[in-house]
Amino acid sequence: MPGLFITLEGGDGAGKTTQSKLLVEWLQAAGHTVVVTREPGGTDLGVELREIVLHRRGAMEPRAEALIYAADRAHHIATVVRPALERGDIVVQDRYIDSSEAYQGAGRVLGAEEVRELSLWAAQGLMPDVTVLLDLDPTDGRKRLDSARTRYDRLEAEKHDFHTRVRQAFLERAAKEPERILVMDAAGDMSEIAAAIRERIQNHLPHPA
């Protein structure tokens, strides 16, 4: 496909929203058409599924949680991401398959490879061209969240051990795919992180329309 698929990953509070905004502004200033989206919640159906999986009160069986994420992904990729890439657009997305592997595979202890296979099936095998992993100690991430909000979703509210497993899973995946995944210290300077991201994706960029 002629477009470019960029995903941002990392633990809660790592700064994905900030870096996504800076990246999108830079791409648009260079004349690129950019589709900004997220998982879960990148479609009308996804908004409903996001509310269920992140804010529903009461217990949820981990396999049910993983399947809801997969359902959101199947619809989102088919209706938003693939069409954008086929048009030649750049897609900048907050979370994707690596998050499912980390949060449900490792955090929920469902098995990283099993969850990854489910996610790839849902997405019909589509993988990002570039993934930016913003790595941050879970303790620091919680401090950032504490200063920014009063309400936590179901995953943010999990205990430290859960988020430690998530972080480790992200780093393990990055070690397996260094050609795709750029690991950045999310505790570093915001502008320096943004510059490193731009440098990494520069050679991947399609010609502006």
Does residue 31 lie within any of the structural domains?
A: yes
ω into residue 40 within 30 of 0, thus cis? yes
155: containing domain = 4-204
pLDDT tens per residue, range 39-93: 999 999 999 999 999 988 888 999 999 999 999 999 999 999 999 999 999 999 9
pTM, rounded to two decimals: 0.93
User: Is 138 exposed, middle or buried (CB count within 10 Å of its CB: 0-12, 13-18, 19+)?
Assistant: buried
Does residue 144 lie within any of the structural domains?
A: yes
Helix 160-176 and helix 112-122, axial crossing angle in degrees, nearest 10: 70
Contact predicate 98/40, CB 8 Å: no
Phi, psi of 44 (to 5 degrees): -60, -45
Q: Which two tokens stand for residue 134?
A: 């913003």
User: Into how many domains does the chain fold?
Assistant: 1
CATH number at residue 164: 3.40.50.300
How many whole angstroms from its chain centre is CA 15?
A: 11
Does residue 148 lie within any of the structural domains?
A: yes
Phi, psi of 56 (to 5 degrees): -65, 135
Contact predicate 42/93, CB 8 Å: yes
Does residue 35 lie within any of the structural domains?
A: yes
In degrees, to the nearest 5, what angle opens at C-alpha 109 toward C-alphas 106 and 112? 50
* pLDDT at 25 (0 to 100): 97
Does residue 12 lie within any of the structural domains?
A: yes
HEC readout, 36-80:
EEECCCCCHHHHHHHHHHHHCCCCCCHHHHHHHHHHHHHHHHHHH
Does residue 209 lie within any of the structural domains?
A: no
Does residue 24 lie within any of the structural domains?
A: yes
pLDDT tens string, the chain, 209 residues long: the values are 899 999 999 998 899 999 999 999 999 999 999 999 999 999 999 999 999 999 888 889 999 999 999 999 999 999 999 999 999 999 999 999 999 999 999 999 999 999 999 999 999 999 999 999 999 999 998 888 887 766 787 888 889 999 999 999 999 999 999 999 999 999 999 999 999 999 999 989 877 66
Does residue 16 lie within any of the structural domains?
A: yes
